[in-house]
Amino acid sequence: MGVRYLVCPEVGWNAGGIAGLKHARSCARAFPGLYALHRCHASSANALLAEQYQSFIPIELKIKIIDLFAGPGGLGEGFASYRGGSIFSIAASAEMEASAHSTLKLRAFYRLARGDRKALDAYYSYCNQEGAPHPSVVHEGAWKAACDEALQLQLGNREDNQFLDVALGRKKLSPDSTVLIGGPPCQAYSLVGRARNRGKKDYVPEKDARHYLYQQYLRIVHKYEPAVFVMENVKGILTSQVGGKRVFHEILRDLSDPGRAIGQGGGARYRIHSLVEPVHFEPGQEPEDFDSAKFVIRAERYGVPQARHRVILLGVRADIPITDAVLLEPSPALNIEDVIGDLPRVRSRLSKGDTAHAWRDAVLMEASGLIGAARGLADEALEPVLKQMQLSRDHLLATESFGALRYSPRLAPVPAVPSSFWNWMHDPRLEVVMNHEARGHMQSDLRRYFYAAAYAKAMGVAPKGHQQFQLPGLAPSHANWESGKFQDRFRVQVQGRPSTTITSHIAKDGHYFIHYDAEQCRSLTVREAARLQTFPDNYFFMGNRTQQYHQVGNAVPSFLAHQIAGVVHRILPN
For 106, other C-beta atoms within 10 Å of its C-beta total 24
- Taking Cα atoms as reference points, which of 496, 568, 498, 491 lies closest to residue 533? 498
Q: What pTM value is reported for the model? A: 0.87
For 351-363, how does the pLDDT look when each residue is reduced to its tens digit (9 = 90+)? 999 999 999 999 9
Of 259 and 15, the structure prediction assigns the larger pLDDT to: 259
> What pLDDT does 571 receive?
93
Kindly report the average pLDDT of the chain as a whole number: 85
> What pLDDT does 191 receive?
43
Going by the DSSP 8-state scheme, the letter that residue 51 receives in this structure is: H
> For residues 432 and 337, what is the distance between their CA atoms, to the nearest angstrom?
20
The model's confidence at residue 399, banded by pLDDT at 50, 70 and 90, is confident
**Residue 38: is its pLDDT beyond 50?**
no
Cβ-contact 227, 175 below 8 angstroms: yes
Cβ-contact 438, 522 below 8 angstroms: yes
Q: Give 271's strand partners.
A: 316
> For residues 232 and 353, what is the distance between their CA atoms, to the nearest angstrom?
43
Give whole-number Cα distances, 91 to 32, 60, 148, 313, 549, in Å.
Answer: 21, 11, 9, 21, 27
Q: Are strands 440-441 and 433-437 parallel, antiparallel or unpaired?
A: unpaired
List, in sequence order, every beta strand (DSSP E) within 372-427. 403-407
Going by the DSSP 8-state scheme, the letter that residue 504 receives in this structure is: G
For 28, other C-beta atoms within 10 Å of its C-beta total 12
SS3 call for 546: helix
Cβ-contact 275, 325 below 8 angstroms: no
What is the pLDDT averaged over residues 195-212?
A: 54
For 466-481, how does the pLDDT look when each residue is reduced to its tens digit (9 = 90+)? 778 888 888 777 666 6
What is the pLDDT averaged over residues 410-417?
A: 67
- Taking Cα atoms as reference points, which of 237, 230, 290, 236 lies closest to residue 255? 230
**Residue 196: is its pLDDT beyond 70?**
no
The model's confidence at residue 20, banded by pLDDT at 50, 70 and 90, is very low
Q: What 3 state SS string does 211-240 have? A: HHCHHHHHHHHHHHCCCEEEEEEEHHHHCC
Cβ-contact 92, 66 below 8 angstroms: yes
Go through the chain and tell me how many residues it has.
Answer: 574
- Taking Cα atoms as reference points, which of 59, 61, 37 lies closest to residue 48? 37
Cβ-contact 227, 176 below 8 angstroms: yes
Give one DSSP letter per residue of 273-292, joined into a string: E-SSSS-EEPTT--GGGS-G
> For residues 373 and 391, what is the distance between their CA atoms, to the nearest angstrom?
16
3-state helix, strand, coil split of the chain in percent (to 5) is: 45, 15, 40
Of 306 and 38, the structure prediction assigns the larger pLDDT to: 306
Q: Which of 300-314, 485-499, 523-537 has the lowest mean pLDDT?
A: 485-499
> What pLDDT does 390 receive?
96
The model's confidence at residue 41, banded by pLDDT at 50, 70 and 90, is very low
Cβ-contact 75, 191 below 8 angstroms: no
What is the pLDDT averaged over residues 477-494?
A: 72
477 CB-near residues (< 8 Å, 6+ apart): none
> What pLDDT does 241 receive?
80
List, in sequence order, every beta strand (DSSP E) within 71-188. 88-95, 150-152, 178-182
Q: Give 293's strand partners.
A: none
For 101-131, how does the pLDDT look when each residue is reduced to its tens digit (9 = 90+)? 999 999 999 999 988 999 999 999 999 999 9
**Helix and strand counts by DSSP (H, E) for the chain:** 22, 18
Q: Which of 24-28, 244-248, 412-416 has the lowest mean pLDDT?
A: 24-28
List, in sequence order, every beta strand (DSSP E) within 363-424. 403-407
